[in-house]
Amino acid sequence: MVILRQVSLDLVKSLYAKFIDWDNQMIDQETSTRSHATNTAISEDLGQVEYILTDKTGTLTENRMIFRRCCIGGIFYGNESGDALKDVELLNAVSSGSSDVIRFVTVMAICNTVIPVKSKTGAISYKAQSQDEDALVQAAACLHMVFVNKNANTLEINFNASIIQYEVLDTLEFTSDRKRMSVVVKDCQNGKIFLLSKGADEAIIPYACAGNSFSSVFKHIKWSTLTHIYHKIFFP
């Protein structure tokens, strides 16, 4: 009887695993890849899961990054449900040459380790180490700040049909301690040297600006981010 019970349990576990394989609601819509239970005991383990702890990168974002909102000089562009790249005010600020906006978009375009690749047709694609870098470079390109070439330590940006060259003097890659990455570049047109940084809010904001007005803006950004994550978790 003991042997028969063990055999019955193994058969039931195998059948439960097949239910996971057959479940049409567990299919990746983009690749049409079905779920697959590699362990017959996985159904038992699922019943014991009470909490799932995860970081936000790739897991909650489905490994897709979309540039939806930004705050430049205390001005918000885009909205929670829309696309900042279609914001008329942001597009007008770029076209009019707003210094704050141009600097912001420049950092998006060149503060990274992305490599532009030009196809035979002239189309440019990007090889990025992470989805966020790719999303930022793509967004900058949509705002007319196109990263077109990287040759040794020289970067070329096409901004409104004008080529701007920067020489990369040093790159400080992202680390968990610094929580940011930085590049030191020289504008080949005027010889000015800039330190450009991007990273976690707690690592960047203390160096960005001080004052009560900026503090209120930061609180709004933090609240909006937490609200979006909450909706992503509980209302996917």
> Which residues are identified as catalytic?
55
Burial class (CB in 10 A: 0-12, 13-18, 19+), 204: middle
Closest CA to 14 of 39, 47, 51, 50: 39
User: ∠ at Cα 206 (196, 180), nearest 5°?
Assistant: 45
- Rg of the chain, C-alpha, whole Å: 24
Q: What is the DSSP letter of 31?
A: T
In sequence order, which residues have a C-beta less than 8 Å from that of residue 168 and are 6 or more positions away?
A: 153, 154, 155, 183, 184, 185
Instruction: Please give the structure tokens belonging to residue 16.
Output: 């439960």
Alpha-helix runs per DSSP H in 23-122: 42-46, 88-96, 99-110
> Could you give the CA distance from residue 225 to residue 200 in angstroms, rounded to a whole number?
13
Alpha-helix runs per DSSP H in 51-130: 88-96, 99-110
> Could you give the CA distance from residue 180 to residue 203 in angstroms, rounded to a whole number?
7
Phi-psi region of 152 (alpha: psi -120 to 50; beta: other; left: phi over 0): left
